[in-house]
Structure 1
Amino acid sequence: MPKISLAEAVKLKSVLSKRIHELEEEMDRLAFVEIEKGSKLPKQNRLFQDAEKDIEAIRKDFRLLDKLVYRANIDHEIQFNNESLAIVEAIELASQLRARARKFKEYGASQKEEFLYMIGESSSMIKLATFDPEDYRLRALEFDRNANRISNLINAKNYSIELDFERDKYF
């Protein structure tokens, strides 16, 4: 059976999802016609059943691709920081690192000490950070770098993994 790389399979899932949506819209257009009562149905180049048949074939391929992608993401691993991670775990780790980077960037953009308002004539309220904003700014950059490194490792691995799927049908 012809093969497809895991990277191509991930992209193809997106293409098939879009195609399913397009066929659903086509089904909506083909489902009804407005004609004068007693008139013959107009000749149609494509029938409602044609679109339905096409969508079912694509849905079947989508399910197969989904299964193959999930299995590959569990069965294959990458090496990151001297640790072996299943692709699915690496994907989640990259997401978590990006989330931490996003939050730490917020902390990194904070002021160490910020004036809030005056209390009376001689005292004021301040907001004081309980952490070092510069430290969090630098940690955010490191989390971003690690997330990008993991993503690059995943992408490289995705191109090396071959799945049993007939790619010629779509590419």
Structure 2
Amino acid sequence: MAKLSLAALVPLRSDIAHKVSELDQEREKNAFCVYVKGEQAEEPTRSFALITEELEEAREDFRVIDELIHSANLAHKITWNNQEISLFTAMQIAKHMRKEAASLKRYGSMKKEELNTGGYFNGGDKTITRAMYDIEKARESGLKLERKVKRLSQLIEDECHNIFLEFPQAEKYIELED
């Protein structure tokens, strides 16, 4: 029985999704043939029925691995800010933290004041855009949040390497060691 870490299952899920896409394209290509009337049609090397069967199997494998990964992400916990949270919650927090860190760093790169030359919306008048926040504080907050999210991501990654799940279908897609 193939037991893989959660960290190994995530890229395997992507591989299976890619396989589904390849089979879907192959079936589309082999579904029809164009030939001149009176001449022999060139038969594809793999039949529509065989490709459809493989496609259905790959789609089922994708559903199984997807559910396995989602269940593990909900069932397993890490400690963050003195709280036990699921891997799923931790991943959501990390995603939001990354977005906020990027926003704060962008705000931190702005000028305190900027002169705007006349434009259509202000009747051609020159205007000044002034930042209504502390630019340096925003930059520092963004950098601090970036370091914090790196720590959270490392905790998630470490936990994913410690969780092992059975996925017998893995042998269809990757070579497993004995």
Shorter-chain TM-score above 0.5: yes
Structure 1 unaligned runs (5+)? 119-123
The structural deviation recorded for 1:169 is 2.2
User: Partner of 2:49: helix, strand, or coil?
Assistant: helix
Partner of 2:14: 14
Q: Deviations over 1:108-137 (max 9, x none)?
A: 01222334469xxxxx85433221100000
TM-score by length of 1: 0.87
Partner of 2:173: 170
Pair 50,129 (structure 1): closer, same or farther in 2 beyond 3 Å: same
The aligned amino acid for 1:135 is K
Moved more, 1-10 or 63-72: 1-10
User: Partner of 1:130: helix, strand, or coil?
Assistant: coil
- Find runs of 4+ consecutive structure 1 residues off by over 6 angstroms: none
Pair 12,68 (structure 1): closer, same or farther in 2 beyond 3 Å: same
Partner of 2:114: 114
Partner of 2:32: 32
User: Partner of 1:9: helix, strand, or coil?
Assistant: helix
Asked whether 1:155 is paired with 2:160, we answer: no
Moved more, 6-15 or 32-41: 32-41
User: Partner of 2:35: helix, strand, or coil?
Assistant: coil
TM-score by length of 2: 0.84
Contact 2:78 2:85 (C-alpha < 8 Å) held by counterparts: yes
Identity value in percent:
34
Partner of 2:123: none
1:126 and 1:169 map into 2 onto residues whose CA distance is 63
1:42-81, aligned counterparts within 5 Å?
42-81=42-81
1:16 and 1:60 map into 2 onto residues whose CA distance is 10
Partner of 1:121: none
Contact 2:34 2:41 (C-alpha < 8 Å) held by counterparts: no
Moved more, 1-10 or 33-42: 33-42
The aligned amino acid for 1:157 is E
1:123-162, aligned counterparts within 5 Å?
126-162=128-164
Q: Deviations over 1:28-86 (max 9, x none)?
A: 11101123446655444211111111111111110000110110000001122322210
The structural deviation recorded for 1:14 is 0.6
1:117 and 1:44 map into 2 onto residues whose CA distance is 65
Partner of 1:105: 105
Partner of 2:121: none
The aligned amino acid for 1:169 is K
User: Partner of 2:34: helix, strand, or coil?
Assistant: coil
User: Partner of 2:165: helix, strand, or coil?
Assistant: strand
